Amino acid sequence: MADRNDKKSSLLADLPTLALAIGVALVIRTFLFQSFYVPSDSMFPTMLIGDHVFVNKFLYGLRVPFSDTRLPGLREPRRGEVIVFQLARDGRGLYPGDFRRELPRDAFVKRLVGMPGDRVEVRDGQVILNGEPLAMEATGETFTDSVGRVFDVYIEVLGACSHHILDHPTHPGINMAEITIKPGRYLFLGDNRDNSHDGRKFGTVRLQELEGPAGLLYWSWDWNGGWLELLNPLTWWDNLVHRTRWGRVGRFENCFPSDGEPPGRSTRRS
């Protein structure tokens, strides 16, 4: 009986420490940094399915939970940044959060192309920003996705940020008539332009829905199975050895200087 009472006393003594640890973890996740997993191919070749990145949640200003209020941030979002944001969704589509407040939210990641006040059009796969087509340079290289589709790799110059985009040679592209972006809203596009459900379909997103820019890529593996399968040690070992993209861990190429040589012009995946 004494041993049982001692164990209970020890557990009760540890509860404040455990509660503090949980509280600190919740504060970090809510206000500072959050992990994001890339589930789709919309940001090929910049981000691959299975990439895990940390998102800086305080850079654009802390969001007061359960409200639309956002505290002043360290800086404004910048054109060309890869940003995680929230959209409302149902079984029929995606919507800006303020358009369908009654729906649940999901996190998405895309590249910020249009800023407040910009005029943006997409014609035959090319972005026209404030009346000027964005410069595009063919790299002469290709990118093959997991189902065997082959894309041409281009460099798109987006202000001070150059980055890779994909183009399917036989795909007609997803056009968008010119829009003028309202104050406080932003337009996001995927780098895999022919296979991205992005602002061309769901429109613009408010600052309040922006979680923050994608930062450190801390894990990446080519894994499409369920988490329950990882309970099998043999499955874990196989994924760790054969499916982990060790070369991507610890870095994230958001963009490269427009006047510099890009660090690796394509990422090939077989």
Backbone angles phi and psi of 260, in degrees to 5 = -115, 170
Does residue 250 fall inside a structural domain? yes
Which of 110, 162, 220, 266 is an active site residue?
Answer: 110
Does residue 227 fall inside a structural domain? yes
What mean pLDDT, rounded, does the chain reach? 82
Which of 42, 162, 220, 266 is an active site residue?
Answer: 42
110 catalytic? Reply is yes
Residue 253: strand, helix, or coil: coil
Query: Would you place residue 263 in the very low, low, confident or very high pLDDT band (cuts 50, 70, 90)?
Result: very low
Burial zone of 237 (CB within 10 Å; 0-12 exposed, 13-18 middle, 19+ buried): exposed
Does residue 193 fall inside a structural domain? yes
pTM: predicted TM-score of the whole model, two decimal places: 0.81
196 catalytic? Reply is no
pLDDT tens-digit series, residues 51-76: 999 999 889 988 777 777 788 888 99
Does residue 3 fall inside a structural domain? no
The total number of structural domains in the chain stands at 1
The residue type found at 218 is Y
C-alpha to C-alpha distance for 202 and 196, rounded to whole angstroms: 11
Q: Where are the alpha helices (DSSP H) in the chain?
A: 2-27, 199-202, 233-238
CATH label of the domain that carries residue 96 = 2.10.109.10
Does residue 252 fall inside a structural domain? yes
177: containing domain:
34-257
Does residue 14 fall inside a structural domain? no
Does residue 188 fall inside a structural domain? yes
Does residue 202 fall inside a structural domain? yes
Q: Please, are residues 56 and 213 in contact by the beta-carbon 8 Å criterion?
A: yes
C-alpha to C-alpha distance for 140 and 174, rounded to whole angstroms: 22
